[in-house]
Amino acid sequence: MEIRPFCVLAMLFLATTGLPGAASAAACLLTPEELEAATGREFSAGQEGKAADGSELCAFAEVAAPTRKLSVNVIASRGKAAYESRLRLLSMGKKDISLKGAGDAAYFNGTAAGVLSGDKLITLSNLRRASAPEIPSERIVVLLQAALGRAGK
């Protein structure tokens, strides 16, 4: 079977651009490169799975420490209730962790972030270890916007 250079290039393009399709409902909405730009840590490709509640989950293993994983979770329904619950839990009534510039509402507490759009919630967990330097919130807004854009409404 002959493989034409154009076909190879087209397949590479489709694989790397994340075009909508069956994968658009999956939780691997970010690339390892985007995660590295935001966190300063290198990640392997995301591994899709399911969270305990049945929602879509994607785990990105840190290259330097593969047992450490950054997770992206997509809650496609009842996201508003989950958002409010997480917001209360993560802020523990102490400080405002609201984040402006992404979705209908968003939060970032230093290690976890989430964005709500309609009734869909996308969360990022294990963004940094407690001993690691702070991540500027602007980088998190970029990640949340990218994830939301790929997830669709």
This prediction's pTM: 0.79
Q: What is the pLDDT of residue 104?
A: 93
Q: What is the pLDDT of residue 93?
A: 65
Domain edges within the chain: 25-151
In three-state form (DSSP H/G/I as H, E/B as E, the rest C), the secondary structure along 94-138 is: CCCCECCCCCCEEEECCCCEEEEECCEEEEEECCCCCCCCCCCHH
Query: What digits encode the pLDDT tens for the residues 87-144?
Result: 888 887 678 888 898 999 999 998 999 999 999 999 999 999 878 889 999 999 999 9
The per-residue pLDDT of the chain, averaged, comes to: 82
Domain at 25-151: CATH architecture: 3-Layer(aba) Sandwich (3.40)
